[in-house]
Amino acid sequence: MMVVSLSRVDVLSERLIEFVARVASKISYDQRKLVAISGTSIHKIVVNVVNRVADWVSEDRGGLLWCRLCNRGSFTKRGLYLHLVRVHNFEIKNIVEDELRRELRTSTN
């Protein structure tokens, strides 16, 4: 089991909001940028968490994008991306943080 500090999970979660919003909105992101943020040792775990949370926060209804956190829609890709990062950034950060803590044994140092 990987040991990652709580403060690192906090900082990492904050930086992953953008990636979750992109995946949820079907907008591509730079894999290398995500590796640079997460580090190679936990990169796969981070990708899984980002994809899972993105699935939870958005929904594709017949090709139209909806926000599942507040049931608003429909949005364009860009519209949903902006909605998620502006309206739900704090919620997304908290969900990501919970998921990362579940998958990584966190230390209190």
Classified as helix, coil or strand, 106 is strand
- Dist CA 61 CA 18 (whole Å): 22
Strand ranges across the sheet with 64-67: 58-61, 64-67, 73-75
CB of 17 to Zn ion, least distance (A): 14
* Residue among 35 and 70 whose Cβ is closer to Zn ion: 70
Residue among 29 and 56 whose Cβ is closer to Zn ion:
56
Least distance to Zn ion from the beta carbon of 78, Å?
15
Least Cβ distance, residue 49 to Zn ion (angstroms): 20
- Which parts of this chain interact with Zn ion (CB under 5 A)? 67, 69-70, 72
Place of tokens 């403060």: 7
Taking alpha carbons only, the member of 57, 44, 59 closest to residue 17 is: 57
Q: Which is nearer to Zn ion, 30 or 60 (CB)?
A: 60
